[in-house]
Amino acid sequence: MDERASKKVVIDAGHGGNDPGASGNGIIEKEYTLKISEYIYNRLKELGLDVKMTRTTDETLSPTERVNRVLNAFGDDSYVLVISNHINAGGGDGAEVIYALRNTSTLSNLILNELQSEGQNIRKAYQRRLPSDTSKDYYFMQRNTGNTEAITVEYGFLDSTGDDVNQLKNNWKNYAEAVVRAIVEYLNLNYVPVPGDNYYTVKSGDSLWSISKKLGVTVNELKEANNLTSNTLKIGQVLKIPSKEIIEDNVYIVKSGDSLYKIAQNNNTTVDELKSLNNLTSNTLTIGQILKLPKKEMTEENTYIVKSGDSLYKIANEYNISVSELMDFNNLTSTNLSIGQVLKIPTQTKSNTQETYTVKSGDSLYKIAQKFNTTVNELKRLNNLKTTLLSIGQVLRVK
């Protein structure tokens, strides 16, 4: 068994009581460090680790008392991890981690990588020496904590001119979970995501390509979301699923807590429509399941996300408009497109409005022609069809 698996963890909520730490923009450091510390403590307990906190209330601790609580938690030993949580100030932007002179940067860099995967900017992992004695650490949390592996995490700047302020207020739980993932990986233990979180655990036979197909995302999106520099995966590895609830081509990825009724309500459709569109025989769903959604009718705010293989001609033809209309509406000066580019689709005038119909199970061109008082040939002409074959979810122009 890897000796790291026997390590203990002490979580230190920086500042407290009469020492509020830094404050500004609606953030008080001592409050956020306690929230973050409690979250990490509870998650590590759930995952089976031995963990203690230096403070659990708004309590004033002197540096000496704080260090004593660290050393008394599990003893002064190198198998004890100490995570001291802080919020930075000074006008910078992004997260940084400080580690002791006696330790390596491995855990610190894991923490930074996980924070970056949650969208936070990262600055650096570093050590700082005491000017009067360069053999010692500058900060007391590293200098006076004996043989423990003491890490200080600065999650962001509360006086940032960048995006830290909103990120700290809105994403602090995600950042705390990022630290949990880093600790578990460092200790070579199995990570279990929070129920409902968008994560995928790699299984035998998986590849980035097969996972991307299963989850309805691209390989590049998976790599970007997980900061992967190669396509190599290992069994048990936890991948973050790119956070796109409704993705290209009108599909939806089922999450924990979803139901057909909830999805139908959120997407302005009905349970029966969803079941018909996806050939479902029951209301049972599985997390990660991909559902087709009915194609929305065009409005003034209608947009289109450019995919691989698209061209202006192809998109214009799909929406029954001209290339010049599409270019004018989007202020385009050339016909070049880039994948992921968002195009606005102009609203058609009433005289040009096309009624559409979404193909359901059991439909045929003849049946649809009868329903809309037209002919099969007219439907084929309107939709540039070469055959009478249809697919469920296909959208046909009927007038």
DSSP class per residue in 242-295: P--SEETTTEEE--TT--HHHHHHHTT--HHHHHHHTT-SSS---TT-EEE-PP
Strands 51-53 and 133-137: unpaired
CATH architecture of the domain 354-399 equals Roll (3.10)
Q: Write the CB contacts of 23 (distance below 8 Å, at least 6 apart in sequence).
A: 29, 158
The CATH T-level fold of domain 3-186 is Aminopeptidase (3.40.630)
Cα(151)–Cα(102) distance, rounded to whole angstroms? 11
Q: Return the domain boundaries, the chain.
A: 3-186, 199-240, 246-292, 295-344, 354-399
According to the CATH classification, is domain 246-292 in 3.10.350.10? yes
The CATH T-level fold of domain 295-344 is Membrane-bound Lytic Murein Transglycosylase D; Chain A (3.10.350)
Cα(83)–Cα(115) distance, rounded to whole angstroms? 15
Distance between the two ends of the chain, CA-based, in angstroms?
70
pLDDT tens by residue, the chain, 399 residues: 344 446 899 999 999 999 999 999 999 999 999 999 999 999 999 889 999 999 999 999 999 999 999 999 999 999 999 999 999 999 999 999 999 999 999 999 999 999 988 889 999 999 999 999 999 999 999 999 999 999 999 999 999 998 899 999 999 999 999 999 999 999 988 888 876 667 777 878 888 888 887 776 788 888 888 888 888 888 778 887 876 543 445 677 777 677 888 888 777 778 888 888 888 888 888 766 778 887 654 444 577 888 777 888 888 877 777 787 788 788 788 888 887 788 888 765 333 445 788 888 778 887 888 777 788 888 888 887 877 788 777 888 886
Kindly report the pTM of this predicted structure: 0.56
- Label residue 5 exposed, middle or buried (CB < 10 Å: 0-12, 13-18, 19+): exposed
Cα(312)–Cα(134) distance, rounded to whole angstroms? 63
CATH class of the domain whose range is 199-240: alpha beta
Output the CA angle 200-202-204, nearest 5 degrees: 145
- Label residue 126 exposed, middle or buried (CB < 10 Å: 0-12, 13-18, 19+): exposed
